[in-house]
Structure 1
Amino acid sequence: MLSIKHHGAVQGVTGSCHELFVDSDQSVLVDCGLFQGAETSGSGADSNRLEIDFDLSAVQALVITHVHIDHVGRLPYLLAAGFTGPIYCSKPSAALLPLVIEDALKVGVTRNASIIKACLDRLASQLVPLDYKEWANIPLTSNNATKVQVRLCRAGHILGSAYVIFRVEGGDFCRPKGTPYKKYWDVVFSGDLGAPYSPLLSAPQSPYRADQLVLESTYGNRNHENRATRREHLQQSLEHALSDSGTVLIPAFSIGRTQELLYELEHIIHQNKQKAVSRTRSGVSLHWEDIDIIIDSPLASRFTKVYHSLANFWDSEAKRRVSSGRHPLSFEQVTTIDSHKTHLQTVSYLQRQTRPAIVIAASGMCAGGRIVNYLKALLGDERNDILFVGYQAAGTPGRDILRYHDKPNGFVMFDGERFDINAKVQQISGYSAHAGQRDLLNFIKRMRVKPERVHLVHGDDGAKRTLKKMIEIDHPECDVVVP
């Protein structure tokens, strides 16, 4: 078997970073992400570190599966540590990545424009955008028989996301002692797989073969609602929440989830324009087409513009809507908040007003960003609702709100201060950008040549244990490893 070291996403779901050794002294890195939530503290593989604390001497190249911060957030530190090799990613990811890195630098490192520009220039010089399903050669420095190719295939997680196939020929790992001869080995890294029928995205299709598979397991112990059910659930949840003229807060990451929600909201409004959802204090009915939808994230606004420019990568349903004259990501009910001053004014206004509104703001786990100011101001009012549509990692305020909202005197801490939770809290799991258990199992089942070994990463202990059992039942010949 080819050797794999895991430098993150082992004791939890964040900090993705995996190193594939293609021979004894050459390797390829897959992702280099930040740790989040409880995974940013403690000891072990998933601890609080930003610097690169593993040996880079063998690393020949980096391959990025997608541009979420828990997959690319340590990239500036990798460059600072002296990595000069090529950085491969899909073409949509190449368009989105500079925005993510610029924001990460501003939030966590520096706001010095010259330092940020130098990092982005360096990134641009090393970036190698790839077409989906095209093989590319990875140059190796050692003069031996090893040959490595890489291929990206759509993962359906966010725009530009990919799972990665490495084809390794020759080298001193390609015929382990006592194993049958193989001309090459295919090693697949799933990255984050999306659920089928996610808005805007084509569903992932399994590779023909995988000799070895590194598989995410975020939802390895549960399944999601189907697309029709979750949209209906979203509409019902919002209508119930808006009925008392309160504000609905939806924490959402700036890239992927925000655009997906806009897409679904546009469809709900398109189908239900004249349906009453609330009343003003004077008794005037408000319909879906009257509801204000506030996007309070400058980064989300920038990402949405890039999403527009990448419409040729959308799925066929989204393209049909555009051709019919609809605007799935930019419709008239949407107001985008850019400046910090306007953000504070909006928070204050919503704290006083009696007109219903929907606010989508980052971060998705309530661990920072503008959503925090909304929560501080609005959590104490029972007219308001918090609607979670994504995974909430252990140790994040989002997880605490979910855990304690229905407890007597439930509260959450922000910046060392206690905030009571009187707002209603709901969760719709069907809008996760991650594949559910059934989807993960199907990813393996639909391979013509099944993997001999599966490494389970990117999941809580319970999710990994459950998925391991399910894979072993379906494929008893497969060696399932939990690193």
Structure 2
Amino acid sequence: MIDITHHGATTGVTGSCHELNLRSEPNAFAGILIDCGLFQGQEKGDGASASDLSVDFPIAHIRALVVTHVHIDHVGRIPYLLAAGFEGPIICSEPSAIMLPEILEDALKIGFTRDRALIERVLGLIRSRLVPVPYGQWHEVFAEQGSSLSVRFQRAGHILGSAYVECDAVSGDEHERVVFSGDLGAPHAPLLQQPASPERADRLVIESTYGDKDHESRETRRYHLKAILEHALADGGTVLIPAFSIGRTQELLYEIEGLIHEFRSDSVADGLVWDELEIVVDSPLAAEFTGIYRKLKPFWNAEAADRVREGRHPLSFEQLTVIGSHEDHLNAVAYLARSHRPCVVLAGSGMCAGGRVVNYLKAMLGEARNDVLFVGYQAAGTPGRDILTYGPRGGWVELDSERFDIRAKVHQVGGYSAHAGQSDLIRFIEGISKKPSEIRIVHGDESAKLAFKQRLVEMDYPCVFIPN
């Protein structure tokens, strides 16, 4: 028997955690987990609230954890998995193996402990368990008592190191290829090679974050970003971009460097040309991962490699200022709040649920000359979703238990989502030579999952369902 169960990302877009089990005999039972992420906002999994970090399912039979990518909603519960007694390897792509300890260090400091010695012990344990696997190469996880399981990573185009996972499973007389999409990226994303469809998928577990809509094209969204920045900066305000530290920040820097390079002598605001526009990254984690991205240039796509050969620095250009210390962060917030200097600030977290972006929002939401630009998905129950929903109506948002009126203008550029749109997801599925016998739709709001399911049913895909 080859079975799939889900421990997250079934009622929303966070908390990804899936289980693939093989049973060849009544007492021969082994499996793997694919991701073990945090819930965010109001999203729940198996009745657990977002603040419930416990691993409350059996893990004695779990031979390995397989990581699709290092976003916190896919890896944030790993320390709790270890605390629950998991002793197996953590298998991931080569770039993810470099980045995973760094993202978990930040998560441990915020939500687990400030004890430096304990953090180092946990990180040392995680590093000792890491098994980096090159893209496109099969890795045997186990072979025991009539069952065997091997996994292979293929590029997912979501963030650097992201992968979808092909699982070659044998259990007694059964032999299946089961594919877990992880998070798939849109084609032509900055820096990343786009995903190609798997050669085979008897069963497919696929995300549906944007299963109900498509994004703008790369060129359209690029000029949309340019137009929003020019309009927003015209009155001497700050454009605040809440951005995820891994992936979104680096892609935005890449795109902004491209705009500066192309329009450097053109006006971006009164008395200011693009070449003089200051771009601020105020997130120690984002700064750290931008440095890691630079070191991982062999994994960049051809376009990015060409820029480097031209002598350009897409992630460390002249107009970029990185703020490190907390004191410098507070000074920057105070200065930008009182000055009329046009500036673009990228700060974490991406859904405004914490991090340095909250201080900027508190200081700037009340002034109409400032702008907030969302470039990523905002989960239900997060301040980001509330600002996006109520900001255009002149409403308010609660930050640190205090209400703040929203007078700043609010924008959204959907094309910069790191997730595939509906047509991209369809292309991924259509590229599989033989239709999967089962497609499970996860990692999406209810409306997105239902719309995506309806589209697949219309295309005569068999056994399409949404797991509970």
TM-score w.r.t. length of structure 1: 0.94
Q: Deviations over 1:415-457 (max 9, x none)?
A: 1111000000000000000000001111110101221001111
Q: Quote the residue 2:96 is aligned against.
A: 93
Q: Quote the residue 1:337 is aligned against.
A: 323
Tell me if structure 2 keeps the 8 A contact 1:230–1:430.
yes
Matched, 1:64 2:67: yes
SS in 2 for 1:294: strand
Tell me if structure 2 keeps the 8 A contact 1:249–1:360.
yes
Q: Quote the residue 1:463 is aligned against.
A: 448
Equivalent of residue 273 in structure 2, options 287, 296, 301: 287
Matched, 1:78 2:69: no
Mapped partners of 1:335, 1:48: distance in 2: 34
Q: CA RMSD in A?
A: 1.3
Matched, 1:310 2:310: no
Equivalent residue runs for 1:118-133 within 5 Å:
118-133=121-136
Equivalent residue runs for 1:326-365 within 5 Å:
326-365=312-351
Query: 309-318 or 49-58: which moved more?
Result: 49-58
Alpha-carbon distance, 1:46 to partner: 6.0
Equivalent residue runs for 1:415-434 within 5 Å:
415-434=400-419
Alpha-carbon distance, 1:47 to partner: 5.0
Equivalent AA in structure 2 for residue 380 of structure 1: G
Tell me if structure 2 keeps the 8 A contact 1:8–1:46.
no
Mapped partners of 1:30, 1:43: distance in 2: 16
Q: Deviations over 1:9-33 (max 9, x none)?
A: 0111100000001226111100000
Q: Quote the residue 1:161 is aligned against.
A: 162
Equivalent of residue 205 in structure 2, options 214, 233, 253: 214
Query: 442-451 or 390-399: which moved more?
Result: 442-451
Query: 109-118 or 197-206: which moved more?
Result: 109-118
Equivalent of residue 413 in structure 1, options 398, 410, 414: 398
Tell me if structure 2 keeps the 8 A contact 1:263–1:328.
yes
Q: Deviations over 1:161-206 (max 9, x none)?
A: 000000012x24x53xxxxxxxx21000000000000000000000
Q: Quote the residue 2:118 is aligned against.
A: 115
Equivalent of residue 27 in structure 1, options 8, 17, 31: 31
**Structure 2 stretches of 5 or more lacking a match?**
none
Tell me if structure 2 keeps the 8 A contact 1:22–1:28.
no
Q: Deviations over 1:344-398 (max 9, x none)?
A: 0000000110110000000000000000000000000100000000000000000
Mapped partners of 2:2, 2:190: distance in 1: 36
SS in 2 for 1:139: strand
TM-score w.r.t. length of structure 2: 0.97
Q: Deviations over 1:233-287 (max 9, x none)?
A: 00011010011111000000111000000000000000000111212xxxxx110
Mapped partners of 2:275, 2:411: distance in 1: 23
Equivalent of residue 355 in structure 2, options 369, 373, 377: 369
Distance 1:194 1:105, change over 3 A: same
SS in 2 for 1:305: helix
Mapped partners of 1:45, 1:149: distance in 2: 31
**Structure 1 stretches of 5 or more lacking a match?**
176-183, 280-284
Mapped partners of 1:146, 1:416: distance in 2: 52
Mapped partners of 1:225, 1:260: distance in 2: 16
SS in 2 for 1:106: helix
SS in 2 for 1:402: helix
Mapped partners of 2:301, 2:280: distance in 1: 26
Mapped partners of 1:9, 1:482: distance in 2: 10
Q: Quote the residue 2:426 is aligned against.
A: 441
Q: Deviations over 1:306-353 (max 9, x none)?
A: 101100000000000000100000001000000000000000000110
Mapped partners of 1:295, 1:47: distance in 2: 28
- Runs of 4+ displaced beyond 6 Å: none
Mapped partners of 2:461, 2:66: distance in 1: 31
Tell me if structure 2 keeps the 8 A contact 1:219–1:435.
yes
Q: Deviations over 1:396-424 (max 9, x none)?
A: 0000001111224x100111111000000
- Between the two proteins, the alignment pairs up a number of residues equal to 464
